[in-house]
């Protein structure tokens, strides 16, 4: 059975058990502060388990894209080294929200594995929760009794809390679980060692394939467990492992999930998979990582230097350096794998094939950029070896290579050993731990339990129609971050818009009697609207009036509606390939990121601005449609964003059905005329294949234009010219001519210094020695002087103590033959001399420089040079 059939069979099986088949949530999480990426199938259903939202279907099943490369679930360093860990993987799952429980979950799981997939029963084992004295929980006898009717009792294994009690996090819904394991060893191995003793022992061929979680408790902040009002089922089965079991392979990478990419890489590199462990690891790393990278980009997360984007960049760079080091790929290659991926997932995850060209371009440009960085890193590593006095590379230097240039420690060690050096691994570990401690301290957060105040579960958002409403506080909690405690409040109904879709959250106040509480932010946690305050009303159970800051909201709406007009104008001017890749909308300005592979030229900017302002002056009325069936919205031509999770019913925002129709949950102007004026202030690149436009509207745009006019007038007055453009051009031309004259004079002066120093070279034991104090205009002049002297003085040993525009520098130049004959190293010599000017430096064996703080030490440098000679 091929992978596509295995996936399809799973979904059809649970569809026959009255489960609604739902689409995968995006890989990148938008409204959950506890996660960057979807790392489990249940993430998109957290609100159901937490009781924040009622489930639309009591039974659902899906295949979910997951990524485990950060935080608690971090498998990155194992990926490729072993044969069963992955960065991105699919999690097949079925859920019950207050409907069926252990009996159905266990019996259906067994039916699917043994009767539908035909996995041999004598290779299967199951684990059950043995209880935990600290939590006051008992052996899961109910699960044992159900399993006894399906499998021999000696294949039922009690297991501890670590392996068989599943928790969402430090707090929240949790419960015992029952895992199904399979022994995939050959018959000879099974005869030697019983698989029973290898369960949960990290054996690569005795592996868990399905985890059945029985959600029945809620973990409180104090660590105690209380029973949930409703019991739920949450199961997760690793698709790649399931394929390995059904296709009777000994590795996930031997299945048809990975083999097309593995064979492509083997053919492209001219190396055979399965012959050399290092080559095999490299091919597995790349085959795995391209999946994570491609799906993240498809879901809107581009490689960058921040947060989730940094994680994706690190994954990509890890793959590139394996290809560079072990497969001899010194040009971009990973982007070619995207075609294979797109074909593989066309039925299940069409977002890859629909954005295939964009993903390929982003990956190719990221590869090319990193290959250039890799060369820089190798140069820095060479410098570190040159500077190492005891053939040991300092741990901090090795960590900089790891953190900044993506060099893993083992790569640095490999290159170092090839050159006869070792690496201070203890120092590396210290630097790594310091970084982890800094990151942990920066993200440390203590959340108290929610305290219920008034009855009610649902939260109604009123902010599309009102900026003020009566409300009741349903619950609140204290959150401490960086030693500061704030209050988070949930209201039964609210006009406050929670940060989402690029639009910032509302600010405002809650009025309770004579008391006024400032709301300084509003955010979503999953789908729950949370209001941030610095204090709690003295009587939390009393009614409140929620008031949004109307002025701030109005300015924000101007900018949000302007992004819709901008998006349409970009497509009109640049082409249909333009798609939104990110945005920020607040009361001050707007920022819009979009797919485009070259700079937006000035004349294009002008056209875009003109179109948007024309649409503003037309005063197009807002057409807002709520609860539109998703298929109807698509038929209307509504623009949907990749990486967003849409329900069956959506909100459609239209400004002229022939111009701008988008799915959007944000707030907008009633008509475009309210925006007033639109002005682009910046255009830049933010990532490979992604441009950014920054703009302002309304009063801010008018002020900007006024400032520019005033500035132009002041320039005219300064230049005393009616045509400031021509006057400035004349000034630039005159400056360039003067610069050439100055440079010529400097070169003439430098040549005079060179000739004087060359004439004073002192012949010593097999070399000509020059040590002198000089003055030069800049560091480049010092370097040029050294190289010019080398060209005219044979077997030269040169030391220059230089006053470089008031700052001390030292340069050491040694003839290459002299370096070999006398085992000299300019880098080490300059390091010693630099002590006299309270500085440091380094360089190559034949040329090195140093800078310092004490210009009065230059004479001492010359004296010390004489001693050295």
Q: pLDDT, tens digit, for every residue of 183-200?
A: 999 999 999 999 999 999
Average the pLDDT over each of 415-419, 603-607, 838-842 and give the range with the smallest value. 415-419
Share of the chain above pLDDT 70, in %: 97
Q: What would the pLDDT profile of 304-313 be if each residue is shown by its tens digit?
A: 877 888 889 8
pLDDT at residue 545 is higher than 80 = yes
Structure tokens of 89? Answer: 């993987």
- Spatial separation of the C-alpha atoms in residues 791 and 590, rounded to whole Å: 57
Share of the chain above pLDDT 90, in %: 66
Average the pLDDT over each of 402-406, 551-555, 857-861 and give the range with the smallest value. 402-406
What is the model's pLDDT at position 325?
Answer: 86
- Max CA-CA distance within the chain? 101
DSSP β-bridge partners for residue 592: 583, 693
What is the model's pLDDT at position 84?
Answer: 75
What is the model's pLDDT at position 683?
Answer: 96
- Spatial separation of the C-alpha atoms in residues 449 and 451, rounded to whole Å: 6
- Spatial separation of the C-alpha atoms in residues 819 and 383, rounded to whole Å: 17
- Give mean pLDDT, residues 106-124: 97
pLDDT at residue 678 is higher than 90 = yes
Q: What would the pLDDT profile of 146-205 be if each residue is shown by its tens digit?
A: 999 999 999 999 999 999 999 877 888 899 999 999 999 999 999 999 999 999 998 989
Q: Whole-number mean pLDDT of the chain?
A: 91
pLDDT at residue 567 is higher than 90 = yes
Spell out the alpha helix ranges (H) of 252-331: 259-269, 277-298, 307-326
pLDDT at residue 643 is higher than 70 = no
pLDDT at residue 73 is higher than 60 = no
Q: What would the pLDDT profile of 445-472 be if each residue is shown by its tens digit?
A: 678 888 989 887 778 999 999 999 999 9
What is the model's pLDDT at position 610?
Answer: 97
- Spatial separation of the C-alpha atoms in residues 663 and 296, rounded to whole Å: 21
| CB contact at 8 A, 79 and 314 | no
What is the model's pLDDT at position 444?
Answer: 62
- Give mean pLDDT, residues 668-685: 96
CA-derived radius of gyration, the chain: 33
What is the model's pLDDT at position 318?
Answer: 87
Which DSSP state fits 24? P
Q: What would the pLDDT profile of 778-828 be if each residue is shown by its tens digit?
A: 888 899 999 999 999 999 999 999 999 889 999 999 999 888 888 889 988
pLDDT at residue 48 is higher than 90 = no
391 dihedral zone (left: phi>0; alpha: psi -120 to 50; beta): left
pLDDT at residue 839 is higher than 60 = yes
* Rounded (5°) CA angle 69-70-75: 40
Q: What would the pLDDT profile of 710-753 be if each residue is shown by its tens digit?
A: 999 999 999 888 898 999 999 999 999 998 998 888 888 889 98
| CB contact at 8 A, 782 and 773 | no
- Spatial separation of the C-alpha atoms in residues 173 and 167, rounded to whole Å: 7
Structure tokens of 15? Answer: 């569809």
Q: How confident is the model at residue 413 (pLDDT cuts 50, 70, 90)?
A: confident
For tokens 């037309």, the residue is 618
| CB contact at 8 A, 694 and 682 | yes
Phi and psi at 133, nearest 5°, equal: -65, -40
| CB contact at 8 A, 672 and 561 | yes
SS3 728: helix
Structure tokens of 148? Answer: 């006894």
Q: What would the pLDDT profile of 211-263 be if each residue is shown by its tens digit?
A: 999 999 988 888 899 988 889 999 999 999 999 999 999 999 999 999 999 99
Which DSSP state fits 506? P
What is the model's pLDDT at position 764?
Answer: 85
Between 272 and 743, the more confident residue is 272
What is the model's pLDDT at position 820?
Answer: 87
339 dihedral zone (left: phi>0; alpha: psi -120 to 50; beta): alpha
């Amino acid at each position: 059975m091929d992978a596509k059939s295995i996936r399809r069979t799973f979904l059809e099986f649970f569809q026959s058990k009255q489960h609604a088949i739902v689409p995968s949530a995006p890989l990148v999480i938008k409204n959950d502060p506890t996660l960057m990426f979807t790392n489990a199938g249940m993430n998109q259903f957290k609100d159901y388990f937490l009781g924040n939202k009622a489930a639309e279907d009591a039974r659902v099943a899906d295949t979910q894209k997951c990524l485990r490369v950060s935080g608690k679930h971090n498998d990155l360093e194992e990926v490729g080294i072993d044969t069963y860990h992955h960065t991105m993987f699919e999690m097949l799952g079925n859920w019950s929200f207050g409907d069926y429980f252990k009996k159905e979950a266990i019996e259906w799981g067994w039916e699917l594995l043994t009767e539908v997939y035909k996995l041999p029963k004598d290779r299967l084992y199951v684990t059950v929760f043995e209880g935990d004295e600290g939590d006051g929980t008992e052996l899961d006898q109910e699960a044992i009794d159900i399993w006894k009717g399906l499998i021999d009792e000696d294949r039922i294994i009690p297991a501890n809390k670590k392996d068989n009690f599943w928790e969402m996090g430090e707090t929240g819904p949790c419960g015992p679980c029952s895992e199904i394991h399979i022994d995939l060893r050959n018959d000879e191995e099974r005869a030697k060692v019983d698989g029973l003793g290898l369960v949960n022992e990290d054996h690569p061929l005795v592996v868990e394939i399905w985890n059945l979680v029985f959600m029945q408790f809620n973990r409180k902040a104090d660590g105690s467990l209380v029973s949930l009002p409703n019991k739920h089922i949450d199961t997760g089965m690793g698709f790649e492992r399931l394929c390995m079991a059904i296709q009777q392979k000994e590795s996930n990478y031997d299945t048809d999930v990975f083999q097309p990419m593995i064979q492509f890489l083997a053919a492209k590199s001219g190396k055979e998979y399965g012959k050399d462990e290092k080559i095999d690891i490299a091919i597995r790393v790349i085959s795995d990582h391209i999946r994570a990278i491609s799906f993240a980009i498809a879901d809107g997360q581009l490689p960058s230097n921040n947060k989730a984007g940094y994680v994706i960049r690190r994954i990509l760079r890890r793959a590139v350096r394996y290809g560079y080091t072990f497969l001899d790929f010194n040009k971009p290659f990973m982007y070619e794998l995207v075609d294979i991926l797109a074909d593989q997932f066309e039925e299940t995850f069409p977002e890859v094939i629909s954005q295939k060209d964009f993903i390929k371009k982003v990956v190719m440009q990221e590869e090319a950029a990193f290959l250039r960085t890799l060369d820089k890193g190798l140069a820095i590593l060479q410098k570190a070896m040159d500077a190492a006095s005891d053939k040991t590379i300092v741990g901090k230097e090795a960590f900089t290579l790891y953190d900044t240039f993506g060099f893993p420690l083992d790569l640095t060690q490999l290159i170092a050993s090839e050159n006869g050096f070792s690496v201070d691994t203890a120092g590396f570990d210290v630097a790594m731990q310091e970084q982890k401690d800094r990151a942990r301290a920066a993200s440390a957060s203590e959340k108290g339990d929610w305290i219920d105040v008034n009855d009610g579960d649902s939260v109604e958002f009123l902010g599309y129609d009102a900026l003020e409403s009566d409300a009741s506080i349903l619950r609140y909690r204290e959150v401490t971050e960086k030693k500061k405690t704030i209050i988070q409040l949930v209201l039964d109904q609210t006009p406050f818009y929670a940060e989402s879709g690029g639009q910032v959250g509302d600010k405002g106040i809650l009025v309770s009697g004579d008391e006024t509480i400032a709301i300084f932010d509003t955010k979503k946690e999953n789908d729950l609207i949370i209001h941030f305050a610095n204090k709690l009303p003295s009587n939390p159970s009393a009614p409140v009036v929620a008031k949004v800051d109307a002025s701030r909201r109005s300015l924000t709406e101007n900018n949000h509606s302007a992004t819709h007009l901008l998006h349409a104008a970009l497509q009109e001017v640049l082409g249909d390939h333009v798609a939104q890749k990110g945005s920020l909308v607040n009361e001050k300005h707007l920022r819009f990121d979009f797919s485009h592979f070259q700079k937006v030229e000035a004349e294009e900017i002008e056209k875009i601005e003109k179109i948007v302002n024309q649409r503003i002056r037309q005063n197009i009325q807002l057409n807002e449609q709520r609860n539109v069936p998703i298929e109807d919205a698509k038929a209307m031509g509504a623009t949907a964003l990749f990486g967003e999770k849409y329900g069956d019913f959506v909100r459609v925002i239209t400004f002229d059905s022939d111009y701008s129709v988008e799915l959007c949950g944000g707030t907008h102007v009633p008509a475009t005329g309210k925006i007033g004026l639109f002005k682009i202030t910046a255009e830049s690149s933010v990532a490979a294949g992604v441009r950014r436009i920054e703009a302002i509207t309304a009063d801010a745009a008018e002020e900007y234009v006024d400032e520019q006019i005033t500035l132009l007038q002041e320039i005219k007055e300064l230049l005393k010219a009616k045509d400031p453009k021509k006057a400035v051009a004349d000034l630039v031309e005159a400056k360039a001519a003067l610069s050439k004259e100055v440079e010529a004079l400097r070169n003439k002066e430098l040549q005079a210094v060179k000739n004087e120093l060359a004439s004073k070279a002192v012949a010593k034991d097999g070399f000509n020695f020059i040590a002198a104090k000089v003055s030069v205009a800049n560091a480049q002049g010092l370097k040029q002087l050294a190289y010019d002297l080398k060209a005219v003085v044979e077997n030269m040993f040169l030391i220059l103590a230089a006053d470089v525009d008031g700052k001390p520098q030292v340069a050491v130049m040694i003839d290459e033959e002299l370096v070999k004959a006398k085992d000299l190293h300019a880098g080490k010599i300059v390091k010693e001399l630099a002590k006299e000017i309270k500085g440091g430096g380094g360089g190559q064996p034949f040329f090195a420089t140093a800078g310092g703080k004490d210009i009065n030490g230059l004479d001492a440098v010359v004296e010390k040079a004489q001693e050295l000679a």
